[in-house]
Structure 1
Amino acid sequence: MSKKIVVIGAGPGGLTAAMLLAHKGYDVHVYEKQPYIGGRTSHIQLGDYRFDLGPTFLNMAYLAEEIFEVTGRNIHDYIELMHLDPMYELVFRDKKIKMTRDVEEMIRQINRVFPGNEQGFQRYLVKNQKKLQTLAPLLQSDMTGYRSLLKPEAFKALPELEIGKSLMDTLSTFFKDEKLQLAFTFQSKYLGMSPWESPGAFSILSYIEHAYGVYHIKGGLNQLTKAMAKVAEEEGATITTNCGVKKMVIEGKTVKGVELDNGEFVAADDVVVNGDFSTVMTKLVEPGILKKYAAEKLEQKPYSCSAVLLYLGVSKQFDLPHHTIWFAEDYRKNVEEITQSFELSEDPSIYIQNATVTDPTLAPDGKSTLYILAPVPNNFSNIDWEKHREEYRDMLISMVSEKLGIDDLTPYIEQEHMITPADFEHKHHVYKGAIFNLGHQLRQMMAFRPNNQFEELDHCYLVGGGTHPGSGLPIIIESARISTNLILKRDKQTPYDVKPLPSYEPFTENALSGKEDQIAAIKPLSIIAGIR
């Protein structure tokens, strides 16, 4: 008889684990509290307008392709990937730059907008390709106890972690202009951190996008989790929505199964936790069982920021790229307000997605979906969102109207929805509304993050942003492969391989004419992937 595994949560991590475990013959049962699958990688339907609830683009697409491939499937039979280039436009008060995978065009833009920095971009690509190659084996292997840090790949990766250096420190070695440095740091929002605090190792975040691209999925990223659920069910997994888990049933330190919200006990050989880590450990585990991750200790840990999301269905098409990031005039002050003083900024940085410019299926003809995101403090700030909700909404509408060059966006709005940090905590079960989970300081990474094979409970495995390797959609998928492989190795089954990637060759002869040494340094490298 195959072993029975319960998966708590039908987000991308839980669905990936369900796919992989069911393919190996396990009896997999996924329980999802919400009436839909996907977690925050699901969608919102507002009339005839469709929006992604959370993540709005896919990078490291090769990883999703690989997960489908190991189950004997081609991801392209399930979803339509749409390559975005330019990837996004970055707008400062006095400058703008379109980030593209075309190296020669990037050099031309940097030379025009930030003259004197173009050689830094070439060095950035060379250095970060080597850095990613070194860090990847560490990021894709399991972290089970501190002894994991004694692995040879951990010692090899140590210099690339750039301990003691922030992301801004690292990028200052490539670019002289602070705004250009920021152009390669905004991805630290994936970690919910300030670039002045985020570890220098994360300079690979922007590099991964330049090397492997940014993708939209036709119909939205929610189509990926729907495809995962379909494959899991094809493999024999059972997915039950509208059926939350009330608590994990634990004897001593051994998880024996779960009790559902309806009172039913479901026995299991193993439980895979895909719920928000700190929410699960404070709500689904009875007090007194956990020591290292007891509720009072979890409350003392550093967490990521939160965000306000505004979804607008508008009766007009605007001249906007698919992705735009508008930087606050005083970006550092804005970041400090989010991560240190915990106050609402009067000049926030905002991200806006205009997905219908690429995918017209998301809105009626001649109309658009505008997805607006503003990073804000998490709920440790004690901001009263009932009090500030409307005024913050009006400020965002005013900002977007001004940046679009129109008097008022309001007359065009046909559908609208807003999510605040309070909504994330109470409606989407995100601890303190920290949407990127535990912070990604080095003291909370690798073996210092809750382990994939959870160290405090037997027969309990973690997937998602609260475990190794960290937050972000592709890396959550990777966490599920790591945890699945731990179960397979324990049961003496063949684990899933991690495939090396095709090499990335960014430089043409024209782009680096006369720089054969740099070309020689970069071309042989084959990268095994990393983060977002």
Structure 2
Amino acid sequence: MTISATFSTPTRRKTALIVGAGIGGLSLGIRLQSLGFDTTILERLDGPGGRAYQKRTEDGYVFDMGPTVITVPHFIEELFALERDHAALTTPDYPPHTLSGERVREGDSGGPRTREYVNLVPILPFYRIVFDDATFFDYDGDPASTREQIARLAPEDLEGYERFHRDAQAIFERGFLELGYTHFGDLPTMLRVVPDLLKLDAVRTLFSFTSRYFSSDKLRQVFSFETLLIGGNPLSVPAIYAMIHFVEKTWGVHYAMGGTGALVQGFVRKFRELGGAVRYGAGVEEILVENGRGGPVRAPVGPRVARGVRLENGEELRADIVVSNGDWANTYLKRVPAAARLVNSDLRVKAAPQSMGLLVIYFGFRDDGRPLELRHHNILLGPRYEALLREIFGQKVLGKDFSQYLHVPTLTDPALAPAGHHAAYTLVPVPHNGSGIDWSVEGPKLTERVLDYLEERGFIPDLRARLTHFEYVTPDYFAQTLDSYLGNAFGPEPVLAQSAFFRPHNRSEDVRGLYLVGAGAQPGAGTPSVMMSAKMTARLIAEDFGIHPDLLGTAADD
């Protein structure tokens, strides 16, 4: 059932400040405008996107700096369909038509409202996964095609795939369709679902779970690597993440023509059409917290209330609520006074394991007429899998080899590069800055090794001679430019002890009127998850402000 609320003309509209114009912040901004708030998004960079920032170079290249894999297009359609002061508070999270099993395989894959803002197209295969011996697996989510690929690589595992498919589907149906939008704000909510998770065997590690079904090392990698794209180590994330396989299988993998940055710009346009404001170059230095009587917080006692923010230029802005779309750890460590924090204390925040870092190389090269034996998304696996993951996440050292995700969007969208050229980036998981690695020394060395690998293995023949643009970022970029604690790339590491109730809460436990959204909050990292996070946080805000069909106008009136 869908319940809509249209808000009455306000005597004073409630106001909101969102710190960060990432996909989570923009998605929530759109939702808050639909709930009757006047929302301003504050972004310290010179443009929107956050981790999804898009860079345009003087020599004609366009690079998405971060996310490139788009799934669950109806989440996007839902955002573009929202209207000012007209919130559908209980719209189905998964409308029946989106679960029909019919997936768009060619043409335009966006919904009717999405097409007004951005052009989404399906990507097939989803990924080409290339092993160290040059064999590969083209994964497109089609069961028949998947079985053919398995029969070619490891026919002995065909029966295991049938069992994996059945059990991963059960995890998807319970963990994503039924529980995906659950905000685990208290322990009883968590405890109620534990028996189901145990029954589904969803709490063991993903790699261990996958190994039950496949004897082939290659197939164990194929069906576990995807958590690396959201910052999770397959050796330690819970098997609940097997649902990613079914998320992609159900709705496909998509691309926004013009890059993910085009989707971000579509969100900015929609937000502004609904009356929202965005300020760039507006870094937030402090979230202003007062005690219940309006005075400053000096001791960790009594009610603590968010009243606004202080910008880096000293300007103070007041609002009824403040939402952080920034890094969870640095939100509390840097921007919320220590005296206002009991749950999210320095000790707790600093002890939380963070996701890995990344080295990302952005490069352009001439198309010399030879076809590339690559696809839009490519996973290039090194000779070691488990040992390499232990070095990155556990020992926090640079290994003798590496694996990488190579993105070549100009195979789909030539407009991202000058005529006769390709734009690409390759992403290498590395330890975060808790490792103590000096990236000014090790960054150049690793980039050289990666370029050598791409050229010598024949992925891009004569790459160095064809290079026309080259730059890279390390965990230092995430730490300094994106203000990410320890240079992590995806927020808190999604281990079992930092999932569901144990992941940072979208409603602050310490400060009334302070909320979180995005990769660091529930449910986690990844473009669909941060859009889900926005809807979850919007529902909490609606609950806190009494926005219900029988209380029209409550959010906007005094």
TM over 0.5: yes
User: In the alignment, what sits opposite 1:181?
Assistant: 220
Classify the secondary structure of the residue corresponding to 1:436: coil
1:140 and 2:186 correspond = no
User: What is the RMSD of the two structures over their aligned residues, measured on CA atoms?
Assistant: 1.7
**Shift, 1:295, TM fit:** 2.5
Sort the Cα spacing of 1:407 and 1:143 in 2 relative to 1 into closer, same or farther, 3 A: closer
Separation in 2, partners of 1:155, 1:109: 35
Identical-residue share of aligned pairs (%): 29
Note the 1:85-164 alignment, pairs <5 A. Answer: 85-94=124-133, 95-136=135-176, 137-151=178-192, 155-160=195-200, 162-163=202-203
Q: Which one of 319, 341, 362 corresponds to residue 311 of structure 1?
A: 362
Classify the secondary structure of the residue corresponding to 2:395: coil
Which amino acid counterpart does residue 263 of structure 1 have in structure 2? G
Note the 1:145-294 alignment, pairs <5 A. Answer: 145-151=186-192, 155-160=195-200, 162-163=202-203, 165-252=204-291, 253-294=304-345
Moved more, 177-186 or 131-140: 131-140
Classify the secondary structure of the residue corresponding to 2:470: strand
Moved more, 71-80 or 301-310: 71-80
Question: Are the counterparts in 2 of residues 138 and 157 from structure 1 also a CA contact under 8 Å?
Answer: no
Question: Are the counterparts in 1 of residues 154 and 216 from structure 2 also a CA contact under 8 Å?
Answer: yes
**Shift, 1:244, TM fit:** 1.2
Paired residues, what number?
493
Classify the secondary structure of the residue corresponding to 2:489: coil
User: In the alignment, what sits opposite 1:403?
Assistant: 457
**Shift, 1:406, TM fit:** 6.1
Note the 1:292-307 alignment, pairs <5 A. Answer: 292-307=343-358
Classify the secondary structure of the residue corresponding to 2:340: coil
User: In the alignment, what sits opposite 1:509?
Assistant: none
Separation in 2, partners of 1:214, 1:307: 22
1:455 and 2:509 correspond = yes
Q: Which one of 440, 453, 456 corresponds to residue 494 of structure 2?
A: 440
Q: Which one of 428, 432, 440 corresponds to residue 378 of structure 1?
A: 432
Question: Are the counterparts in 2 of residues 219 and 359 from structure 1 also a CA contact under 8 Å?
Answer: yes
Which amino acid counterpart does residue 138 of structure 1 have in structure 2? L
Question: Are the counterparts in 1 of residues 355 and 488 from structure 2 also a CA contact under 8 Å?
Answer: yes
Separation in 1, partners of 2:321, 2:189: 22
Which amino acid counterpart does residue 360 of structure 1 have in structure 2? P
Q: Which one of 28, 31, 37 corresponds to residue 48 of structure 2?
A: 37
Separation in 1, partners of 2:145, 2:175: 28
Q: Which one of 36, 48, 53 corresponds to residue 65 of structure 2?
A: 53
1:25 and 2:25 correspond = no
Unmatched 5+ stretches in structure 2: 1-11, 85-111, 292-303, 550-558
Note the 1:350-499 alignment, pairs <5 A. Answer: 350-404=404-458, 408-494=462-548
Question: Are the counterparts in 2 of residues 143 and 452 from structure 1 also a CA contact under 8 Å?
Answer: no
Separation in 2, partners of 1:82, 1:93: 30
Separation in 2, partners of 1:135, 1:407: 43
Separation in 2, partners of 1:162, 1:405: 37
Deviations 1:206-254 (A, max 9, x none): 2221222111110001111111111111111111111111101101311
Separation in 1, partners of 2:22, 2:381: 30
Classify the secondary structure of the residue corresponding to 2:36: coil
User: In the alignment, what sits opposite 2:106?
Assistant: none
Question: Are the counterparts in 2 of residues 250 and 256 from structure 1 also a CA contact under 8 Å?
Answer: yes
Deviations 1:124-172 (A, max 9, x none): 2222222211112322122222233255x56544533623x21122112
Separation in 1, partners of 2:46, 2:132: 43
Deviations 1:310-360 (A, max 9, x none): 000111263321111111101112111101111112210011011111111
Separation in 2, partners of 1:176, 1:299: 39
User: In the alignment, what sits opposite 2:90?
Assistant: none
Separation in 2, partners of 1:68, 1:122: 38
Sort the Cα spacing of 1:394 and 1:453 in 2 relative to 1 into closer, same or farther, 3 A: same
Question: Are the counterparts in 2 of residues 8 and 32 from structure 1 also a CA contact under 8 Å?
Answer: yes
Question: Are the counterparts in 1 of residues 343 and 509 from structure 2 also a CA contact under 8 Å?
Answer: no
User: In the alignment, what sits opposite 1:10?
Assistant: 21
Deviations 1:356-391 (A, max 9, x none): 111111112221012110000011000000111211
User: In the alignment, what sits opposite 1:516?
Assistant: none
Separation in 2, partners of 1:198, 1:156: 18
**Shift, 1:119, TM fit:** 2.7
Deviations 1:42-77 (A, max 9, x none): 211122111111001201222222222344981121
Classify the secondary structure of the residue corresponding to 1:371: strand
Separation in 1, partners of 2:506, 2:264: 21
Deviations 1:378-425 (A, max 9, x none): 110000001112111111110111222566422211111210011210
Question: Are the counterparts in 2 of residues 57 and 217 from structure 1 also a CA contact under 8 Å?
Answer: no
Moved more, 230-239 or 59-68: 59-68
Separation in 2, partners of 1:407, 1:80: 32
Question: Are the counterparts in 2 of residues 325 and 351 from structure 1 also a CA contact under 8 Å?
Answer: yes
Separation in 1, partners of 2:216, 2:345: 45
User: In the alignment, what sits opposite 1:529?
Assistant: none
Separation in 2, partners of 1:109, 1:449: 36
Separation in 2, partners of 1:405, 1:183: 20
Question: Are the counterparts in 1 of residues 231 and 525 from structure 2 also a CA contact under 8 Å?
Answer: no
Separation in 2, partners of 1:177, 1:212: 27
Q: TM-score, normalised by structure 1?
A: 0.89
Moved more, 313-322 or 38-47: 313-322
Separation in 1, partners of 2:471, 2:186: 43
Separation in 1, partners of 2:158, 2:429: 30
**Shift, 1:282, TM fit:** 1.2
Which amino acid counterpart does residue 284 of structure 1 have in structure 2? R
Separation in 1, partners of 2:459, 2:374: 11
Separation in 2, partners of 1:407, 1:126: 41
Question: Are the counterparts in 1 of residues 47 and 280 from structure 2 also a CA contact under 8 Å?
Answer: yes
Separation in 2, partners of 1:493, 1:481: 14
Separation in 2, partners of 1:9, 1:161: 37
Q: TM-score, normalised by structure 2?
A: 0.85
1:65 and 2:104 correspond = no
Question: Are the counterparts in 2 of residues 306 and 378 from structure 1 also a CA contact under 8 Å?
Answer: yes
Question: Are the counterparts in 2 of residues 161 and 199 from structure 1 also a CA contact under 8 Å?
Answer: no
Q: Which one of 377, 381, 391 corresponds to residue 327 of structure 1?
A: 381
Classify the secondary structure of the residue corresponding to 2:351: coil
Question: Are the counterparts in 2 of residues 389 and 420 from structure 1 also a CA contact under 8 Å?
Answer: yes
**Shift, 1:89, TM fit:** 0.6
Question: Are the counterparts in 1 of residues 30 and 82 from structure 2 also a CA contact under 8 Å?
Answer: no
Which amino acid counterpart does residue 309 of structure 1 have in structure 2? V
